Amino acid sequence: MRAAFLRTLEELAAADERIVFLTGDLGFTVVEPFATRFPRRFVNVGVAEQNMTGLAVGLALAGKIAFTYSIANFPTLRCLEQIRNDGCYHKANLKIVSIGGGLAYGALGSSHQATEDLAIMRALPGLVVVAPGDPLEAEAATRAIAAYDGPCYLRLGKAGEPVVHERPPAFELGRAIPVRDGRALTIISTGAMLAPVVRAADALAAEGLAAAVLSMPTIKPLDSAAILDAARTAGGILTVEEHSVIGGLGGAVAEILAQHAPSRVRFRILGLPDAFCRYVGSQDYLRERSGLAVEDIMRAARQLVAD
C-alpha cells in the first residue's frame, strides 16, 4: 500500500502544484523520488510531529493540499491536539497519512502499533477516515482524499500487502466495495485484513458456507445503506479489523444496526482485544496471537451462523 500511495501522490503532484508533502523524519529509501522531483514541495520536519501538523495546517490554510506522513501512531496520537484544534476546527485541507496501521510494525512494540487510531480519529468533527484494503484501493483512496476539500485520515498498511481486486474497484468516499457474494452471512472488512477475510470466505465457500464480503475502506462517513442491506439479506454480520474491538469498524457498524436495523441482527466484532500487545514478531505472528488469523475468521463466521 505504501508504494501505491507514494506513486499516486507523485503523479497527482505533477498535475497539481498545490500538493505538498511533509514527513516526520520517516520514509527514506521510499520518499526520495517525490523529494527529488519536487524539492520545494517536500519538507522533512524532523521528529516533531506536532510541528509537522501545525506547519501542514498553515500551508493548507494558505491554499495548499498538505499531506503529513509517518509511522502508525506518530502522525495521529502524538499530535492529536493539533489535528483537532488546528486541522479539524478550521476545516483545513490536511491529509494525515499513517503507515503501518494495526500490527504492521509489530516487532517495534506497542509504541509503533496503531490499534486505537480509527476510534480516536473518527470521533474528531469533520474528519474523513479511510483505511483501504489493498494497493488498488490505496491508489483510489489517495486520489479521493486529494480531491476532497477538507481534513482526511488515510490509514495504510506497511508494504507487501497482496492485491485482492481483479481490477481497480469503483471507489467513492463513504461507499463499501462488494468483493464476494453470499447469503449465509456478510463479512465486513476494513484495512489490510481484506486479504485474510477473502481467503477465509473462499475456504468457507468450499465447506458450503457462502459468505458475502464487503470491503469498507471508509470508516467515516460509513456506508449505512450497505450495512442495512446486509442486515436484511444475510444470516448475520461479522466485522473484521486489525484494530481494537472498541470504537473501530465494529463499533461504527454496531451504531448503525442499533439505531436503524429493522429487527435484531446476528452480529459479532472480530478485532484486537482491549489490551496492549505484549508479543514481538511479524505481523502474521501477532495476528495469530491476537485471534485474527484466517482460521479465527472462519471459526467466528461458523459460530455466528450457528448461534
Cite the active site residues: 49
Q: Are 194 and 154 in contact (CB under 8 A)?
A: no
**Residues 6 or more apart whose Cβ sits within 8 Å of residue 85:** none
CA distances in angstroms from 257 to 122, 124, 223, listed in the order given: 18, 21, 12
Q: What secondary structure letter does DSSP report for 158?
A: -
Beta strand pairing call for 185-189 and 128-130 = unpaired
Distance of CA 176 to CAs 84, 171, 301, Å? 26, 8, 20
| Nearest of 56, 63, 54 to residue 42 by alpha carbon | 56
Distance between CA atoms of residues 174 and 161, nearest Å: 23
How, if at all, do strands 267-272 and 19-23 pair?
unpaired
Residues near 206 by Cβ (< 8 Å), separated by ≥ 6?
Answer: none
Which residue, among 148, 104, 113, has the nearest Cα to 130 in the 3D structure?
148
CA distance 88 to 83: 6
Going by C-alpha positions, the residue among 119, 221, 101 that lies closest to residue 161 is: 101
